């Protein structure tokens, strides 16, 4: 399997990184204010990315949802008429691997920060990291994230090479957000009361990856898909 990025993918990654660099400095303040500066939003759009505001009721802190209920007519069709369901399902086989990677990225950042934190915070005159009970959960997290990342990359590789990947996409969707939730939760606990506070991003991340266990299909539905792919509809739940 060749996971090397194509020049187009490298260009897109760098563009996304540049946007992330603009977003990162005031991230917490924007979250608290519950809004994103329209100029920044336009810059994100100009880079070919989207920045929807997620409604508070859906776990976000923004104001609006991106939605379209209007009938645009036949000249606005995005694909062949009557093929929308298939098209959307194929989209899910892609987005589920991406959601997996999104959650893994969130969890990996939390683990990186937590290694740093436990190496510098002292209790009883020695760094927290010198306790197995502190270091081993992070070692386990590194292992689980490495495995989940590989699963997501393999799914995208199968897609890129035109091979079936519905089962693998469903595996990414139920497992990676669950691993990420457990890992971010562990990182939060290792920060003690600071982890629980809103001035660190850990509690927000925990809520974000929890939402991604539900959005785009729950674990039960993913396991239903895997079972049906393996057994066929007759024998599966
Ligand atoms: C953060 C977030 C973002 C979202 N983004 C979008 C979006 O962009 N677009 C969109 O259309 N929707 C979106 N959703 C909605 C999401 O897709 C649905 O909430 C999700 O598919 C579950 O559907 P439901 O809430 O109706 O739960 P239900 O279908 O009522 O299910 C409730 C529980 O029962 C279980 N269950 C249901 N049926 C079965 C079954 N046959 N066998 C076993 N267990 C079952 C489910 O797994 C779940 O645990 C989002 C949700 C969240 C939380």
**Domains of the chain (ranges, CATH numbers):** 7-76 (no CATH), 84-231 (1.20.140.10)
- Residue 207: per-residue pLDDT: 93
CA of 69 to the centre of ligand 1 (A): 20
Q: At 61, is the pLDDT very low, low, confident or very high (cuts 50, 70, 90)?
A: low
Q: Report which ligand 1 atom has the smallest distance to the Cα of 60.
A: 1
User: How does pLDDT run across 165-207, given as a tens digit for each residue?
Assistant: 999 999 999 999 999 999 999 999 999 999 999 889 999 999 9
Pairing of strands 126-127, 122-123: antiparallel
Q: For all residues of the chain together, what is the average pLDDT?
A: 88
Q: Report which ligand 1 atom has the smallest distance to the Cα of 214.
A: 53
Tokens for 235? 């024998």
- Residue 97: per-residue pLDDT: 97
Q: Report which ligand 1 atom has the smallest distance to the Cα of 220.
A: 47
- Residue 129: per-residue pLDDT: 98
- Residue 64: per-residue pLDDT: 47
Work out the average pLDDT over 56-79.
61
Work out the average pLDDT over 40-61.
71
CA of 133 to the centre of ligand 1 (A): 36
Return contacts of 144-147, CB within 8 angstroms, 24+ apart: 144/179, 144/182, 144/183, 145/104, 145/107, 145/108, 145/111, 145/179, 145/180, 145/183
- Residue 63: per-residue pLDDT: 47
Q: At 67, is the pLDDT very low, low, confident or very high (cuts 50, 70, 90)?
A: very low
CA of 177 to the centre of ligand 1 (A): 14
Q: Report which ligand 1 atom has the smallest distance to the Cα of 218.
A: 47
Ligand 1 site, CB within 6 A: 58-59, 211, 214-218, 220-221, 224
Residue 82 pLDDT > 50: yes
- Residue identified by tokens 């976000």 is 60
Mutate to test the pocket of ligand 1, among 53, 62, 106, 216 (most ligand atoms within 8 A of CB): 216
Residue 13 pLDDT > 50: yes
- Residue 69: per-residue pLDDT: 46
- Residue 71: per-residue pLDDT: 58
User: How does pLDDT run across 88-131, given as a tens digit for each residue?
Assistant: 888 899 999 999 999 999 999 999 999 999 999 999 999 999 99
Work out the average pLDDT over 132-150.
98
Using alpha carbons, select from 174, 177, 175, 155 the residue that is nearest to residue 166: 155
């Amino acid at each position: 399997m060749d996971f090397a990025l194509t020049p187009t993918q490298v260009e897109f990654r760098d563009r996304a990184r540049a946007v992330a660099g603009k977003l990162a400095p005031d991230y917490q303040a924007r979250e608290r204010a519950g809004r994103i500066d329209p100029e920044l939003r336009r810059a994100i759009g100009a880079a070919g990315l989207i920045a929807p505001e997620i409604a508070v009721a859906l776990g976000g802190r923004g104001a609006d949802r991106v939605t379209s209920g209007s009938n645009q007519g036949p000249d606005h069709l995005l694909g062949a008429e009557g093929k929308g369901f298939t098209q959307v399902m194929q989209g899910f086989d892609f987005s589920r691997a991406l959601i997996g990677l999104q959650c893994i990225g969130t969890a990996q950042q939390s683990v990186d920060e937590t290694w740093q934190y436990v190496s510098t915070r002292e209790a009883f005159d020695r760094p927290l990291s010198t306790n197995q009970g502190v270091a081993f959960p992070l070692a386990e997290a590194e292992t689980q994230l490495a495995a989940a990342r590989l699963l997501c990359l393999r799914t995208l590789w199968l897609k890129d090479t035109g091979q079936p990947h519905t089962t693998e996409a469903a595996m990414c969707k139920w497992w990676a957000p669950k691993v990420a939730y457990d890992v971010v939760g562990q990182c939060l606990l290792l920060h003690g009361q600071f982890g629980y506070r809103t001035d660190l991003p850990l509690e927000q991340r925990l809520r974000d990856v929890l939402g991604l266990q539900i959005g785009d299909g729950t674990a039960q539905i993913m396991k239903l898909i895997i079972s049906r792919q393996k057994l066929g509809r007759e024998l599966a739940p």
